[in-house]
Amino acid sequence: MTDNIAAVPPADGYLGDPAVRAEWDNRYADRHQLWSGRPNGALVAELAGLTPGRVLDVGCGEGADAVWLARGGWDVTAVEVSGVALERAAGHARDAGLTVRWVHATLTEAALPPASFDLVSAQYPALLRTPDAAAERALLAAVAPGGTLLLVHHAGMDTQHSHDSDFDPADYVWPSMVADLLDEDWEIQVDEQRPRVAPDGGAGAHHTDDLVLRARRLR
Ligand SMILES: C[S@@+](CC[C@H](N)C(=O)[O-])C[C@H]1O[C@@H](n2cnc3c(N)ncnc32)[C@H](O)[C@@H]1O
Contacts of 117 (CB under 8 A, 6+ apart): 53, 54, 55, 56, 77, 142, 143, 144, 147
Q: Which residue's C-alpha comes closest to atom 14 of ligand 1?
A: 59
Q: Which pLDDT score is estimated for 1?
A: 40
* Minimum CA distance residue for ligand 1 atom 8: 123
Listed range (16-30, 123-137, 149-163, 177-191) with the worst mean pLDDT: 149-163
Cα of 62 from ligand 1 centre, angstroms: 9
**Mutation test of ligand 1: which of 56, 112, 124 has the most ligand atoms closer than 8 Å to its C-beta?**
124
pLDDT in tens, 62-120: 999 999 999 999 999 999 999 999 999 999 999 999 999 999 999 999 999 999 999 99
Determine the length of the chain: 219
Return all residues near 47 (Cβ < 8 A) that are at least 6 apart. Answer: 72, 119
DSSP string over 107-142: GGGS-PPTT-EEEEEEES--PBP-TT-HHHHHHHHH
Q: Whose CA is nearest to atom 18 of ligand 1?
A: 106
pLDDT at 38 over 50: yes
* pLDDT computed for residue 158 by the predictor: 81
Q: What is the value of pTM for the model shown?
A: 0.93
Residues 64, 35, 25: CA angle, nearest 5 degrees: 100
Alpha-carbon distance of 32 to 38, in angstroms, equals: 15
Q: Which atom of ligand 1 is nearest to the CA of 122?
A: 6
Residue 142 CA to residue 114 CA, distance in Å, equals: 5
- Cα of 100 from ligand 1 centre, angstroms: 17
Residues in the ligand 1 pocket, defined by CB under 6 Å? 20, 24, 35, 40, 58-61, 79-82, 85, 106-107, 123-127
Q: Whose CA is nearest to atom 22 of ligand 1?
A: 59
Tell me, what DSSP letter sits at residue 164? S
Gap from CA of 61 to ligand 1 centroid (Å)? 5
Contact predicate 116/94, CB 8 Å? no
